[in-house]
Amino acid sequence: MGKSITHKIIENHLVSGEMIAGQEIGLRIDQTLTQDATGTMAWLQYEAIGIGTVRTDLSVSYVDHNTLQMGFRNPDDHRYLRTVAAKSGAVFSPAGTGICHQLHLENFAKPGATLIGSDSHTPTAGGIGSMSMGAGGLSVALAMAGEAYFIPMPKVVKVNLTGELKGWAAGKDVILHLLGMLTVKGGVGKVFEYAGPGVASLSVPDRATITNMGAELGATTSIFPSDDKTRDFLEKMGRGNDFTELIADPDAEYDEIIEINLSELEPLVAQPHMPDVVCKVKDLAGKKIDQCAIGSCTNSSYSDLKNTAQILSGKQTPPETDLLISPGSKQVVKMLAREGLMEPLLDSGARILECTCGPCIGMGGSPTSAGVSVRTFNRNFEGRSGTQDGQIFLTSAQTAARLALEGKFTDPATWGDAPERVELPDDVPSIRHLFVFPQDKTDEVEILRGPNIVALNDFDSLPDTIEAKVLLKVGDNITTDHILPAGAEITALRSNIPAISLYIFNRVDKDFVPRIQKAGKGIILGGENYGQGSSREHAALGPRHLGVKAVIVKSLARIHRANLINFGILPLLLADANDYDRLSEGSNLTIPAAALTPGGTISISTGPGDSFEVTNDLTKNELEIIQSGGLLNAVRKNQ
Ligand code: MIC
Ligand code: SF4
């Protein structure tokens, strides 16, 4: 029987488990990436494991999320990351060099390699056939220490592409189309593998946009074949040697098949406040736009910004519409500058920002009150932009640039000819000298910290019985942005768990923190797909620090589930979803934790004569981790 690309890569990296969907498998990890907002914790954990230099082929530490440097916290974090990378044999990418996923795609990702990153959009590298997954910082720390990465063996979905993108339709519209079809939980437990005759027509940046935003489906990852387009991309990046061909066998078997005819796609838009609330751009015609933002790891490539410059050339945005552009890397800026394409951007009235995540994670660039902002990003969760009632719409770069000129949504049929699809020039300028590559004498490096960098405290092991109240009841699709908001003020505290914990569920219920501080412990009750979105492990570490013992939900998102386990919080699943309605904030629960078995059911008492049942999907290994009080304790115990 033929094999999919996913099966081929997994088979090559399998260190434990069987390749049966849903069963736990352990994978050898070739490459890792971290970014500053999750990286300080990951590196502190790596230090706590104490193994010297990294045991991967390559580990890169990027600084791209928070570069505002308002006070000492942020620059101290960057200095810590630079010095700990030097000490540990990792590559360091200084602030402003570019967005981790764009830089990794351009400079380091390899077809056929495994990559995990402490960022949910790590699957961007799937655009060139790398099996790349988002993970919690601790999982990345362990991979850097040479440990396997454990995931449930995913199902593989073949996305069969036929036809060719036409007119204003872009790679972004492929993934928006899928999101509209499958929703933000449609990809949980699955890898989306792209195949079919339409693949050859998509450029690497388009492919990377699609795999990047596969994260919003909740997917384990997304992957494209490594073909002639990949070879061309890598050669132009000066990395022809990193190319290997990787295609699925003609008779490969898949768990599901989805058909998309690229020729039928038209410009799409995700509406507030979820990436799956998708409609056609033309359906919103007439709606005024206050802001457009082009950039983020989804759409900040040379081709996105070249098309943007072509669309804006000789024109100016209306004064009511603010246009922000954050290029994905200095390489992109160099190419634009060389071709005279910075000038039309500047002349259009656009504000050129640093090559970082910027407005995508609420680091400035917030829209006005209730302002309509059209962004080329991947997430439009409520409040994430920094403006709680901001109305965030997600589109391709071409659509956002065109709409920035109009100042309102219009029908793409009125836009005239679309700009030509961009090819990379033959002589792409390198920025490799900007990375700090590790030197031999790591012993001599001193790791520099600052007062905001607080080492993790130890966590207790799981008690036999948990008696605690439900202290918060939330609905479906709760994101990690709900649990721990982004933005400049809070993100500056990512290296300081006691301080950042005070913001847990801050935007959902301001009284949650005082309530749990008073009670000393508590339980969260949630609906479907709890913890979707960002990989930030602070959304598990913070609750754990405050005393959250268990989350009881209808279903969980993959990375957050792993983070809960890593930090010893019980992820329990309601056996009967109707019990969700019976339970409320204040319900007193007694959980017989000692009776837990992998996949088993236990009965939770809510008072004399009243109880409900919960199950779990924990493996034996995962349950032991929780019983030890978290993965660091478990690893130390086994050392
Ligand atoms: C995001 O897009 O939400 C982030 C910010 O990149 C996160 C990581 C983080 O919270 O630091 C992610 O996607 O994992
Ligand atoms: Fe950065 Fe936004 Fe991409 Fe997250 S989604 S890595 S914040 S650009």
Domain-located, residue 426: no
Domain-located, residue 363: yes
What's the pLDDT score for residue 1? 83
- Domain holding 470: CATH number? 3.20.19.10
Ramachandran angles phi, psi of 392, nearest 5°? -100, 125
CA separation for the pair 99, 96 (Å, rounded): 8
User: How do 268-270 and 278-280 pair as beta strands?
Assistant: antiparallel
- Domain span at 340: 268-414
Other Cβ atoms within 10 Å of 388 Cβ, number: 13
The answer to whether residues 245 and 312 belong to one domain is no
Q: Which ligand 1 atom sits nearest the alpha carbon of residue 360? A: 2
Nearest CA to ligand 1 atom 7: 534
Q: How much distance in Å is there from the Cα of 305 to the middle of ligand 1?
A: 23
Ramachandran angles phi, psi of 320, nearest 5°? -75, -10
Instruction: Residue 103: name the closest of 63, 144, 162 by CA.
Output: 63
Residue 89 makes CB contacts below 8 A (sequence gap 6+) with 53, 54, 59, 438, 442
- How many residues make up the chain in this entry? 639
Please give the model's pTM, rounded to 2 decimal places: 0.98
- Domain holding 399: CATH number? 3.30.499.10
Q: How much distance in Å is there from the Cα of 120 to the middle of ligand 1?
A: 6
71: left (phi over 0), alpha (psi -120 to 50) or beta: left
The answer to whether residues 118 and 145 belong to one domain is yes
Provide the pLDDT confidence category of residue 490 given band limits of 50, 70 and 90. Answer: very high
Instruction: Provide the 3-class DSSP secondary structure of residue 616.
Output: coil
Query: Using a 6 Å cutoff on CB, does residue 353 contact ligand 2?
Result: no
**Residue 456 clears pLDDT 90, i.e. is over it:** no
**End of a domain among 264, 291, 321?**
264
Active site residue 255: no
The answer to whether residues 508 and 578 belong to one domain is yes
Q: How much distance in Å is there from the Cα of 20 to the middle of ligand 2?
A: 32
CA separation for the pair 24, 270 (Å, rounded): 34
The answer to whether residues 404 and 494 belong to one domain is no
Nearest CA to ligand 2 atom 1: 357
Q: How much distance in Å is there from the Cα of 277 to the middle of ligand 2?
A: 20
Domain-located, residue 423: no
The answer to whether residues 474 and 363 belong to one domain is no
Other Cβ atoms within 10 Å of 264 Cβ, number: 11
The answer to whether residues 205 and 284 belong to one domain is no
Active site residue 411: no
Active site residue 64: yes
CA separation for the pair 113, 223 (Å, rounded): 12
Please return the burial class of 488, using the count of CB atoms within 10 Å of its CB with bins 0-12, 13-18 and 19+.
Answer: middle
Domain-located, residue 420: no
Provide the pLDDT confidence category of residue 638 given band limits of 50, 70 and 90. Answer: confident
Q: How much distance in Å is there from the Cα of 129 to the middle of ligand 1?
A: 22
What's the pLDDT score for residue 537? 97
Instruction: Residue 211: name the closest of 331, 139, 130 by CA.
Output: 130
Domain-located, residue 299: yes
**Consecutive H or E run containing 612:** strand 610-615
Instruction: Residue 201: name the closest of 253, 263, 116, 154 by CA.
Output: 263
How do residues 329-377 score in pLDDT, each as one tens digit?
A: 999 999 999 999 999 999 999 999 999 999 999 999 999 999 999 999 9
The answer to whether residues 479 and 607 belong to one domain is yes
**End of a domain among 264, 298, 324?**
264
Q: How much distance in Å is there from the Cα of 490 to the middle of ligand 1?
A: 13
Active site residue 379: yes
Q: Which ligand 1 atom sits nearest the alpha carbon of residue 484? A: 10
The answer to whether residues 92 and 235 belong to one domain is yes
Catalytic residue among 36, 59, 61, 64: 64
The answer to whether residues 64 and 204 belong to one domain is yes
Could you give the C-alpha distances from 390 to 120, 359, 471, in angstroms and in order?
Answer: 23, 12, 28
How large a percentage of the chain has pLDDT more than 70? 100
When the pLDDT of each residue in the chain is averaged and rounded to a whole number, the result is 97
**End of a domain among 225, 241, 264?**
264
Catalytic residue among 384, 515, 536, 561: 536
Task: Enumerate residues lining ligand 1, CB below 6 A.
Answer: 37-38, 65, 119-121, 134, 361, 379, 486, 533-536
The answer to whether residues 491 and 598 belong to one domain is yes
Q: Which ligand 1 atom sits nearest the alpha carbon of residue 378? A: 2
Catalytic residue among 119, 206, 242, 276: 119
Ramachandran angles phi, psi of 638, nearest 5°? -85, -5
* Ligand 2 mutation target, pool 33, 35, 378, 532, most atoms within 8 A of CB: 378
| Token pair in block for residue 160 | 């069969």
Strand ranges for 316-422 from DSSP E: 322-325, 351-352, 372-375, 391-394
Could you give the C-alpha distances from 192 to 123, 164, 218, 224, in angstroms and in order?
Answer: 11, 19, 11, 9
User: How do 588-591 and 466-473 pair as beta strands?
Assistant: antiparallel
Domain-located, residue 569: yes
Nearest CA to ligand 1 atom 1: 534
CA separation for the pair 568, 592 (Å, rounded): 16
For residues 212-231, one letter each, b for 16 or more C-beta atoms within 10 angstroms of the residue's C-beta and e for the rest, the string is bbbbbbbbbbbbbbbbebbb
Query: Using a 6 Å cutoff on CB, does residue 297 contact ligand 2?
Result: yes
The answer to whether residues 259 and 274 belong to one domain is no
Beta bridge partners of 572: 552
What's the pLDDT score for residue 524? 98
**Residue 639 clears pLDDT 70, i.e. is over it:** no
Mean of the pLDDT values across residues 398-427? Answer: 97
What's the pLDDT score for residue 586? 97
For residue 357, the ligand closest to its alpha carbon is 2
Q: How many domains does the chain have?
A: 3
CA separation for the pair 109, 127 (Å, rounded): 10
Domain-located, residue 520: yes
Active site residue 421: no
Domain-located, residue 87: yes
CA separation for the pair 313, 320 (Å, rounded): 19
Nearest CA to ligand 2 atom 2: 360
The answer to whether residues 51 and 179 belong to one domain is yes
Q: How much distance in Å is there from the Cα of 77 to the middle of ligand 1?
A: 17
How large a percentage of the chain has pLDDT more than 90? 97
